[in-house]
Structure 1
Amino acid sequence: MHRRAPRIQLLLGGALIALVALAIGIFLGGHANLLPDPVRSALVRDDEGQLVQRAIDTIEDNYYRPIERGQLVDQSIEGAVDSLDDQFSHYFDPATYRRFQQSTNPRFSGIGVTVQPHERGLVIAHVIPDTPAAKAGLRPGDKIVAVGRNTLAGHPSSYAIGLIKGEPGTDVTITTERDGVRRSQTIERAEIVEPVVEARLVSTRAGKYGHVVFTSFTSDSSEQVRGAVDRMLDRGARGIVLDLRGNGGGLLSEAVETASIFIPDGTIVSTDGRNRERHVYTATGGAIREDVPVVVLVDRNSASASEIVTGALQDRRRAEVVGTRTYGKGVFQEVRELPNGGALDITVGQYFLPSGKNIGGRGVSEGAGIQPNVRARDDPDTARDEALATAVRTLSSGAR
């Protein structure tokens, strides 16, 4: 009996080790990212990854002329993103990602326009006054189809923006298209500080009204809107026109704060995604008096965060919407940096108005946008702003 005890202990010890190994194997099977790279490559099956790796190796080794491996990797990732058929998802190679980061700076060197993506390149949403673009006669609605010798079709907007920006005092040649007519012109770049909020009083027979122009939802921009609204009311404005024409959006948090200037409580917007829990954003408090009438003025270039604010005020019956239908972007993106210095800017979810409506076509098709209560359009060939005049008339009819 004494001889059998060690054998039993040995068997029990072996079983225990096997159980521990099994538990570790099960754990690492679901947490392969914890393994060192060589071990993960040897133990974890990755047929798709090995297939891509082998294809790149084959091209690099056998193609009839030399080709950089990094270029193959970049184009492989770009092809994967393109297969999503999502106009808002992009792969940024390292150089493009650096330009993208620069493009989010409100102080920049360029020609003085804000733009929206277009299948041909870019479409001008707003021309900043007293900038090289304004002096060159560029207008909202003009399409930028080439920069220098580089055509823009098929490239992300960040690529085109990066080409337009440059050192102050240097020249850039852009090709624009208006009413089917192309025009190339050379413009000298300058240091630009993009104004986010501008406000003025508009006097009519019915009284004074505040016209607050808001161009981009950047950090703390909602505070600037709040300050402008308060100034207009202090100066005797009977109502507020919130002008979001040409505003392509920005930070979701700033959209919620901006809507909260006018909506005292309740839902502003909700978001949902396949790997994102549904989240409801509510008004943050401190709204202006509910008896102050509000009109939101929009156009085809009012997008994203602009549509969140517009849709919330319309759904909650806090404002009349005047203008044309909006862009129709009901999805949001996140930027994920990659080890090569590039990044993925991919759609990760959708947002929904208080009514539950999504206005964005899920990113792969043109969304319906927000339809105005009162249709109005500015004629760029006249000095008068017809859309603003309609907004003020609508505002005065609702003033109490």
Structure 2
Amino acid sequence: MEIADKALKAFGAYFHLSLLPQSLLFQHCNIIFSKFLSHGIRVNLKILKKIIFLLYVVVLQMVCIDNINDKLLVAESFLFHKLKILFSFAFVTLLTLSCGVGSSNPFKTSSDLEKDHSVLSSDLESGISIPLFVPAEEPLRAPSEVPEELLIIWEVWAHLTRDHVASSEFSPEEFAEAAINGMLAELDDPHTAYVRAARHEINSEDLQGKFEGIGAHVQSTRDGKIVIVSPIEGGPAEAAGIRAGDTILSVDGVLLEDKSLLDAITLIRGPRGTAVLLGILHLGDIDPVEISITRDEIPLESVLVRSNPGDEIAHIRVTDFFADTAEKLYLAINQVIDAGSEGLIIDVRDNPGGLLRSSVDVVSLFVEDGLILSEIDGSGNKREWIARDDIPAFDIPLVVLANEYSASASEILVGSVQDTKRGKVVGDTTFGKGSVSILRPLSNGAGLYITVAHWYTPAGRLIHGEGLDPDIEVSGITDRRELESEQTNMAIQILQQELKSSQR
């Protein structure tokens, strides 16, 4: 029943807290207080005032917030002597119900209510809206196919659509999404999210190896900010001056403060040739700026050779882990070796991750056999991913470059290279996104991302929320280009020293 309770809280936030005018709240409280006195009930005024004040704050906040998920979070954030404000609200409302129909019998019959009609009309005409208690009918019977744990949700929905004064204005889609968001908010997991049909379509577009947008990888931080992980090389974002680490504050005037990562991406993307206005706070700056970017078709190239043919140390950047990344990387490594390179830098700085299978294939290019990673689900079930024996592994000396924006599949490579002693990792502590997500399609064309497990390195180190420290840290330089140059130079020095040692 816990899931149903969460959904009902979302319904409550949507219906009662958003529809009740705050101007009526004090009138309700005055009525309650006067009824207390008329019945000779002793009231702790201090406690009553605190309840009234908290109720006012909650209702005021709800009127100002449109997003149902945010309404729920605000409502649940107010506590009073360990009682949630929703319980306090229910307590005061019940008192109002009993006071509104008279002092002798709070639960009256229909005939009694007809006798009291003049009293109720007088109250309504004076501008005071008193909730009216009506005797309950037989409970509605849910269809047999509704699971038992969700019966209460169906009952609430059925009663509201049948009885609520504004039922003709209800949107089934909005209410369904409100219930879903109420459940997901309780998880406190930014990687488990409901994806609307439009966003689901975007995901399908990515699988084709191209998309239309500004050309940038974005990620949500632990404090809810939407940051640029890296602009795609040669894309509109890079040309407009967008840099890794920049924070996106708004999109076409829509603030992203309370938006999910998927919502932000949906706002940013759009047809090629159209413009989007971003509110940007550059990394290290104090004042935000607005940058207009014209969207374009962005090819998704995941393997880029940075070094020149014949360089002793080859430098290959891996920007993402797509389905074909391992194959492209295999070809690129053969290319630089044939050109005379003896050492290899694999650069996953600013790489947001990608497909789990792709990361296993990439690691298999360097690790000949053995464990690459383990994943453990919520029930404690463990699955081990082993290096593929059908992919030839290179024995070229290796250094991996990583930074704080190396996430997910990138961290699988970092952890495997470290734990198997296959090479060194240079740079900064990685992002710490070590969770396995699956996408479940839904009947309305939408999808549901679900975190199903966490990843662990071959040595059993947890990635999620922790990140992985480099073997040689190079950080603390504010100028990004200078920092990247220092990290790259350190990787080159390590490989050159290793090559000299092997020649002795």
TM interval, shorter chain, is 0.7 to 0.9
Cα distance change, pair 97–243 in 1 and its aligned pair in 2 (3 A): same
Determine helix, strand or coil for the equivalent of 1:393.
Answer: helix
Structure 1 residue 41: Cα displacement:
3.5
Determine helix, strand or coil for the equivalent of 1:181.
Answer: coil
Aligned to 2:316: 212
Structure holding more strand per residue: 1
Correspondence list, 1:99-138, <5 A? 99-118=202-221, 119-138=223-242
Determine helix, strand or coil for the equivalent of 1:95.
Answer: helix
Q: Does 1:88 align with 2:191?
A: yes
> How many residues end up aligned between the 2 structures?
352
Work out whether residues 201 and 208 of structure 1, in 8 Å CA contact, stay in contact via their aligned partners in 2: no
Aligned to 1:397: 497
Q: Does 1:189 align with 2:298?
A: no
Aligned to 1:386: 486
Determine helix, strand or coil for the equivalent of 2:480.
Answer: coil
Cα distance in 1 for partners of 2:199, 2:398 equals: 41
Structure holding more helix per residue: 2
TM-score when normalising by structure 2: 0.65
Aligned to 1:142: 246
Cα distance in 1 for partners of 2:205, 2:380 equals: 28
Determine helix, strand or coil for the equivalent of 2:199.
Answer: helix
Work out whether residues 115 and 122 of structure 1, in 8 Å CA contact, stay in contact via their aligned partners in 2: yes
Paired AA for residue 55 in structure 1? V
Work out whether residues 82 and 90 of structure 1, in 8 Å CA contact, stay in contact via their aligned partners in 2: no
Q: In the TM superposition, what whole-angstrom CA distance separates every residue of 1:128-165 from its partner, at most 9, and x where no partner exists?
A: 23322122111111011211122223323222112212
Correspondence list, 1:223-372, <5 A? 223-274=327-378, 277-285=381-389, 286-290=391-395, 292-360=396-464, 367-372=465-470
Cα distance change, pair 201–45 in 1 and its aligned pair in 2 (3 A): closer
Over aligned residue pairs, what C-alpha RMSD do you find?
2.4
Q: Does 1:42 align with 2:144?
A: yes
Work out whether residues 201 and 237 of structure 1, in 8 Å CA contact, stay in contact via their aligned partners in 2: no
- Of 171, 174, 177, the residue aligned with 1:68 is 171
TM-score when normalising by structure 1: 0.82
Cα distance in 2 for partners of 1:146, 1:69 equals: 29
Of residues 273-282 and 293-302 in structure 1, the stretch that sits farther from structure 2 once superposed is 273-282
Cα distance in 2 for partners of 1:383, 1:50 equals: 58
Structure 1 residue 230: Cα displacement:
1.4
Of residues 101-110 and 211-220 in structure 1, the stretch that sits farther from structure 2 once superposed is 101-110
Structure 1 residue 384: Cα displacement:
6.9
Q: Does 1:97 align with 2:222?
A: no
Work out whether residues 408 and 432 of structure 2, in 8 Å CA contact, stay in contact via their aligned partners in 1: yes
Structure 1 residue 194: Cα displacement:
2.5
Structure 1 residue 183: Cα displacement:
1.1
Work out whether residues 170 and 188 of structure 1, in 8 Å CA contact, stay in contact via their aligned partners in 2: yes
Cα distance in 1 for partners of 2:338, 2:456 equals: 34
Percent of paired sites with the same residue: 31
Paired AA for residue 225 in structure 1? L
Cα distance in 2 for partners of 1:130, 1:192 equals: 9
Determine helix, strand or coil for the equivalent of 2:144.
Answer: helix
Cα distance change, pair 55–241 in 1 and its aligned pair in 2 (3 A): same
Aligned to 2:13: none
Cα distance in 1 for partners of 2:227, 2:444 equals: 31
Q: In the TM superposition, what whole-angstrom CA distance separates every residue of 1:318-338 from its partner, at most 9, and x where no partner exists?
A: 010000000112211111112
Determine helix, strand or coil for the equivalent of 1:385.
Answer: helix
Cα distance change, pair 120–151 in 1 and its aligned pair in 2 (3 A): farther
Q: Give unmatched runs, 5+ long, in structure 1.
A: 1-38, 361-366
Structure 1 residue 276: Cα displacement:
8.0
Q: In the TM superposition, what whole-angstrom CA distance separates every residue of 1:80-121 from its partner, at most 9, and x where no partner exists?
A: 012101121101133333334335543111111112123454
Cα distance change, pair 396–342 in 1 and its aligned pair in 2 (3 A): same
- Of 47, 55, 68, the residue aligned with 2:156 is 55
Q: Which has the larger radius of gyration?
A: 2
Cα distance in 2 for partners of 1:307, 1:63 equals: 54
Paired AA for residue 272 in structure 1? I
Q: In the TM superposition, what whole-angstrom CA distance separates every residue of 1:290-327 from its partner, at most 9, and x where no partner exists?
A: 3x211110011111111111101100000100000001
Q: In the TM superposition, what whole-angstrom CA distance separates every residue of 1:228-275 from its partner, at most 9, and x where no partner exists?
A: 111111111121110001111111111111001111111111222136
Cα distance in 1 for partners of 2:365, 2:450 equals: 30
Aligned to 1:17: none
Cα distance in 2 for partners of 1:97, 1:235 equals: 43
